[in-house]
Amino acid sequence: MYYSLMRPMRRIHDVQREMNRAFDSMNKEENELECSGSWIPNVDVKETSEEIVLYAELPGLKKEDIKITIRDRVLSISGEKIQEDAEEAAYHRLERIYGAFCRQFMLPAQVNADKIDALFRNGVLKLTLHKKEEARTQEIKIIQG
């Protein structure tokens, strides 16, 4: 095996990634709950006047590998990414993440838990959480008096 000048940098990067993950867990938002797994998918959340949209990166998975549940206003995304050929070969490098994952979020009161759409395409799960009618922003027109 050859010596790579980048090997020490990769190790530093790995340590930095683990430290970031540890600090991120301490700085969780109040609407994110703790759940166990060997890895944590990255999630983006955006809000409009009518909905909250959550994007979760789940590369290498099929929709059958993902479970989405809601219980007591807690949205859970879980599943497992299995390494298919782990028994067949001796790996020299293993950098991709495998195993169970889980993310949980407390749903705000304005979300209609009965109306959530899920779309999985190209390794990204998109959850559209529609707001209740009374929680949507409405514009009030001013008339000339």
pLDDT of 3 > 60? The answer is no
> Which residue, 64, 63, 68, 60, is CA-closest to 35?
68
Mean pLDDT of the chain: 82
Do 130 and 115 form a contact (C-beta atoms < 8 A)?
yes
**pLDDT tens track for 51-101:** 999 999 999 999 999 999 999 999 999 999 988 776 777 778 878 888 999
Evaluate if residue 46 carries a pLDDT over 50.
yes
- Using CA atoms, how far apart are residues 90 and 118, in angstroms rounded to an integer? 38
**Tokens of residue 56, six digits:** 């979760």
Spell out the residues 6+ positions from residue 55 whose beta carbon is closer than 8 angstroms to its own.
Answer: 43, 44, 45, 46, 124, 125, 126, 127
111 neighbors 132 (Cβ within 8 angstroms): yes
Domains annotated on the chain, with CATH: 31-85+93-135 (2.60.40.790)
